[in-house]
Amino acid sequence: MTGSAAPPQEVPPRKSIVKIVGASMIGTTVEWYDFFLYGSAAALVFNKLFFPNTDPLTGTLLAFATYAIGFLARPLGGLVFGHFGDKVGRKKLLVLSLLLMGGATFAIGLLPTYTAIGVAAPLLLTFLRLVQGFALGGEWGGAVLIVSEHGDPERRGFWASWPQAGVPCGNLLATAVLAVLAAVQSDATFLSWGWRVPFLLSGVLVVIGLWIRLSVSESPVFLEAQRKAELANKSAPVKAPILVVLRDHWREVLIAMGARMGENVSYYVITAFILVYITGPLGLPKSLGLNAVLIASAVHFASIPLWGALSDRIGRRPVYLLGAVGMAAWVFVFFQLLDTKSFGPIVLAATVGLVLHGAMYGPQAAYFSELFGTNVRYSGASIGYQLASIFAGALAPLIATALLKAYGSTVPVALYVIGTCLLTVIAVVLSRETKGVSLERTDAHRARVPA
């Protein structure tokens, strides 16, 4: 595509952008630590503590159902946080999302179980999961936008990928805490009270995250858009950003949703469903699965910025397509390696899978940010990202577990992953390349890559 180049975006001092990246990443790490902790606990203990009157696999399905409910609240969080983020700024909403997530996770650590208060226990658990999902729905958009809008255009993919790296970092932290507890505690002790420890630790992490996040400045791109709107005698850049997104940018929203499908489903199959399969049909100890995910998450964390940097050189679409096609090709190998019941092959299965996932997730923050203009960017990126999570990540562990129970085989699960990767390939192929697009524009639907 061709067109006139936008005025160059001012390049901030390196020290400034590193501070912004650090603040965004630590907050994202804390929030995803909280969110992933729930997924791991759902696979390991919630089926016994909150749904004890069912067989193990059915209890796991019920636990994953409450896990999925958190995803249902994420689009609502994306709508609310996106609306106010486009009107009053990115920073305030980032602080609020961290407080909500941390409070809900800490409360789960204090929650009585089914044996203590009966049916009220799973109901309270479900409510707190909804609060988690609502908070996380607002977190992602603000975290990646405040970095994208501070960073220089030439390295936007690299800088914006660091908040994305907070996802495996949060998973790494959650899995590490669970793995340590599993190593030093008996199964009975872990089931009795040990599982509460990582949830209560969230309170400490939230305080650290807030201290760092409050120290950063608001997005200069947003402030400039707000200044221009005030000069034009408007109270805000857009009165109702969500309406503008749905009216003018629905194609971009659909592109973002499609691009998320294979990425999101494959991630939760690799990191959450793997624990169900290893501890259930394979009969292996939970520590083996946790340690495998721990090692794979460390490599995943390192790979995401590398994929983001590569997208700065060759474009967002080629890197994204490499990840989607590679994941579709790897998923059968993934399950074959798990079936060996050996630690080394299981680690290899998870590690290669997450590296391929990183090829989609690394450029994603810059890619989605570049699809929308400043006045609707928080709303547009959040809606596309979070709506897809309902149909992708929310249902992935649930569908995978149900397929395994119905067919007694992982082949249907692999076909399920391949199908979602195909949707991602179609979405990315139909989209435009966004590398080099200016983030200072407000007419995103007319934007073109500079010549």
124-176 pLDDT per residue, tens: 888 888 888 888 888 777 778 788 777 677 888 898 898 888 888 887 888 78
Q: What pLDDT does residue 267 have?
A: 93
Q: How many degrees, rounded to 5, is the angle at CA 355 between CA 351 and CA 357? A: 115
DSSP letters for 4-27: PPPPPPPPPPHHHHHHHHHHHHHH
Query: Given the structure tokens 């999961």, which residue do they identify?
Result: 129
- The stretches in the chain having pLDDT less than 70 are 1-15, 43, 53-57, 59, 151, 217-219, 225-226, 229-239, 441-451
The length of the chain is 451
Query: Residue 393 has what DSSP assignment?
Result: T
| Nearest CA-CA partner of 129 in 204, 59, 41 | 41
Which residues, in sequence order, are CB contacts of 211 under 8 Å at separation 6+? none
Which residues, in sequence order, are CB contacts of 21 under 8 Å at separation 6+? 147, 151, 159, 162, 163
Q: What pLDDT does residue 56 have?
A: 66
Query: Given the structure tokens 């499609």, which residue do they identify?
Result: 258
142 touches 81 (CB < 8 A): yes
- Kindly provide the residue ranges of all beta strands, DSSP E only, lying in 259-340, ordered along the sequence: none
Q: How many degrees, rounded to 5, is the angle at CA 394 between CA 426 and CA 369? A: 55
73 touches 391 (CB < 8 A): no
Which residues, in sequence order, are CB contacts of 73 under 8 Å at separation 6+? 129, 130, 131, 132, 133, 134, 137
Q: What pLDDT does residue 5 have?
A: 42
Q: In the numeric block, which tokens belong to residue 221?
A: 């791109």
Which residues, in sequence order, are CB contacts of 401 under 8 Å at separation 6+? 57, 60, 61, 64, 273, 276
pLDDT tens-place string over residues 232-257:
655 444 567 778 888 888 899 999 99
141 touches 382 (CB < 8 A): yes
| Nearest CA-CA partner of 414 in 260, 297, 270, 233 | 270
Q: How many degrees, rounded to 5, is the angle at CA 142 between CA 64 and CA 5? A: 130
- The model's pTM: 0.79
Centre a 10 Å sphere on the Cβ of residue 320 and count the other Cβ atoms it contains.
Answer: 28
Q: Compute the radius of gyration of the chain from its Cα atoms.
A: 21
Fold of the domain spanning 14-446: Growth Hormone; Chain: A; (1.20.1250)
DSSP letters for 216-244: SPPPHHHHHHHHHHHHTT-SSS-S-HHHH
Long-range contacts of residues 221-227, Cβ cutoff 8 Å, at least 24 apart: 221/9, 221/149, 221/150, 221/374, 221/439, 221/440, 222/89, 222/90, 222/149, 222/374, 223/89, 224/440, 225/374, 225/375, 225/440, 225/442, 226/89
- Give me the residue spans of the domains in the chain: 14-446
